[in-house]
Structure 1
Amino acid sequence: MSLAFAADRVHVRAPGKLNVFFDVGDVRPDGYHPVASVYQAVSLYEDVIATPADDFTVSVSGDVDLTGVPLDGTNLAVRAARLIAHATDSEMGVHLDIRKGVPVAGGMGGGSADAAAALLACNELWGAPLSTADLHDLAAELGADVPFALLGGTAVGTGRGDELAPALARGRIDWVLVTDSDGLSTPAVYGRLDELRAQADIAPARGTPAVDAAVLQALRAGDAASLAAVVHNDLQAAALALRPDLAVVLADGRDLGARGGLVSGSGPTVAFVADDPGHAAEVAASLIARGYEALAVHGPVPGARVIG
């Protein structure tokens, strides 16, 4: 029995993520899209505190808009707890106290971070019977972004995004995020992308998704200016079609001195590259003065980990 299990309380912190690069293939017959992504974990966190209980329950609090976060068995963290209980033949229940710091439905993987944190927390609470590889396999069953929330750092994701290979990123990349309480549905964004691609004048059928080597070179060099020139998200056109106001956000960020920007994942969070912490703070302050909700973050940061 581990010390964390003996203490009857495990606290795990997991990060949100940005898609520095996101190439999306055409929809497959099973409804999924193959992707090639470069993920970076950034300094916005979800905290999950797991304690023994008779059943599987969840409570949620935080500094972000919590509208739409489920408090029943459909919550991804609760699904993660049930999955690991089944995998370990555990008859214990758990209460998950989730404290959210990642925007909800913002394209930054907050729900996936909750699930990753719940997997690690329950594994520790119940005596750590599963290996890191086992946890990764369970994470992949829950969603494409959950394995990366376990891994953290910077990584290339292929397949559905859950086949991960760590990527070398030198030093620190500073980002400015513009968040929005009016979330975007990931299925709706993918659906809009398919509609756009069905138009004959948009693009031909795509091949296997691939990561632009220039993105990996910029990350290896730790060069913000080079990275800003090559960040890309195939979902951005669809997100802008559903939310044209995001194009104004992108234009305003560049106008206020950001190196370059993109919609993160399925949006609506917009991420701008900054030169350094001071530059990020200046751009964030200018965006706030213009009426936006903006904050400076950095990456890469570690994946899900036990605190204390």
Structure 2
Amino acid sequence: MTLAEIFPSVRVRAPGKINVFLQVGGLDDDGYHELATAFQAVSLYEDVVATYADDFTMAVNGSVPLEGVPVDDRNLALRAARLLAAETGYEGGVHLEVHKQVPVAGGMGGGSADAAAALVACDALWGTELPTGELHRLAARLGADVPFALMGGTAIGVGRGDRLSPALARGRFDWVLVTSEEGVSTPAVYGELDRHRERHRVDIGPVPAVPQVDADVLHALRAGDARMLASTLRNDLQAATLQMRPDLAPVLELGEREGALAGIVSGSGPTLAFLCGGPEEAIDLQVTMSAAGHVALHVHGPVPGARVVG
């Protein structure tokens, strides 16, 4: 008996992410870059409700601007549902209702969280009961960040970020996110990174042949020490994102001046993530950034990956 025979729908929640460390290798012949990253899942979520249907359809709503979010097969969530059906031989369909809280094209993996949630929701609704390893294999086919949205917590990603190893992280890390109404294109940011490196190759030095996460990052996560982690934050894409969005630089400076331990561009941006000393400091910074006219959110991590909720 499947859940569809008991309940009319299945709701799954999946988290957005922050790259607390991101080292980017050179451009490969296949047009991609090797990465080494430390992911942390944070308490800003995407909810996907899957309901039995004869065809594959979806609708999107949410608390963030939704301009440019497709509701056809260009959407990762719908592609995830179709992929699962094709892999398992399921002959029906599904209607997906996606509620978005993670900024669109904001560098926090919202679309990947939708895809991960759709995989878990459809697997539960249809009773296909794929092993976790199989779900992760399908997730990797959909995009580099989708496996982490399934896993959640804290993890190290290598390759294109999709080869994951769980990382021990003690305690809680508090962040203030400053979002932007205008997203950026991840491929465009990588292109700008390559141009930036070419322009400044004398100053920057050689690009790492095999990117690696610094050991100090792992020590800080294991210790649950926000100050130690703040000193190790790194994002190789940040310079390229700030080149494309120079308006973000003063916001980074404001957050650090007003009490953040450190600020960083999240992934390819334009969302900015400010690490704080604890919940009280994060609330104070959220109020300050909001008063300055920015959309500021207090979140914490690490949190679990895609899960069925009530």
Fold match by TM threshold 0.5: yes
Give the partner amino acid of 1:261.
Answer: G
CA contact (8 A) 1:19 1:39 kept: yes
How many correspondences in the alignment? 308
- How far is the alpha carbon of 1:120 from its aligned partner? 0.5
Give the partner amino acid of 1:277.
Answer: P
- How far is the alpha carbon of 1:73 from its aligned partner? 1.2
1:184-199 equivalent positions in 2, closer than 5 A: 184-199=184-199
SS at match of 2:27: coil
- Using the alignment, how far apart are the partners of 2:8 and 2:88 within structure 1? 18
CA contact (8 A) 1:63 1:100 kept: yes
Task: Provide, for residues 157-209 of structure 1, a one-character-per-residue CA deviation record: whole Å limited to 9, x for no partner.
Answer: 00110000000100100001110011010000000001112224343232100
Match of 2:235 in 1: 233
Match of 1:107 in 2: 107
SS at match of 1:170: coil
Give the partner amino acid of 2:67.
Answer: T
Match of 2:302 in 1: 300
Residue number among 267, 273, 279 corresponding to 2:275 in the alignment: 273
Task: Provide, for residues 16-66 of structure 1, a one-character-per-residue CA deviation record: whole Å limited to 9, x for no partner.
Answer: 000000000001000111100000000000000001111110100011111
Residue number among 245, 249, 252 corresponding to 2:251 in the alignment: 249
Residue number among 285, 288, 297 corresponding to 2:287 in the alignment: 285
CA contact (8 A) 1:176 1:273 kept: yes
- Using the alignment, how far apart are the partners of 1:177 and 1:66 within structure 2? 18
- How far is the alpha carbon of 1:258 from its aligned partner? 0.6
- Using the alignment, how far apart are the partners of 2:245 and 2:97 within structure 1? 33
The gaps in structure 1 that reach 5 residues or longer are none
The gaps in structure 2 that reach 5 residues or longer are none
- Using the alignment, how far apart are the partners of 1:283 and 1:4 within structure 2? 45
- Using the alignment, how far apart are the partners of 1:88 and 1:159 within structure 2? 27
Give the partner amino acid of 1:168.
Answer: L
Match of 1:171 in 2: 171
CA RMSD in angstroms comes to 1.0
Give the partner amino acid of 1:306.
Answer: V
- Using the alignment, how far apart are the partners of 2:153 and 2:37 within structure 1? 14
- Using the alignment, how far apart are the partners of 2:4 and 2:41 within structure 1? 25
Residue 72 (str. 1) matches residue 111 (str. 2):
no
- Using the alignment, how far apart are the partners of 2:54 and 2:290 within structure 1? 45
- Using the alignment, how far apart are the partners of 1:84 and 1:31 within structure 2? 27
Task: Provide, for residues 249-295 of structure 1, a one-character-per-residue CA deviation record: whole Å limited to 9, x for no partner.
Answer: 11000111111010000000000110111110000100111111111
- Using the alignment, how far apart are the partners of 2:276 and 2:126 within structure 1? 42
- How far is the alpha carbon of 1:4 from its aligned partner? 5.6
CA contact (8 A) 1:5 1:124 kept: no
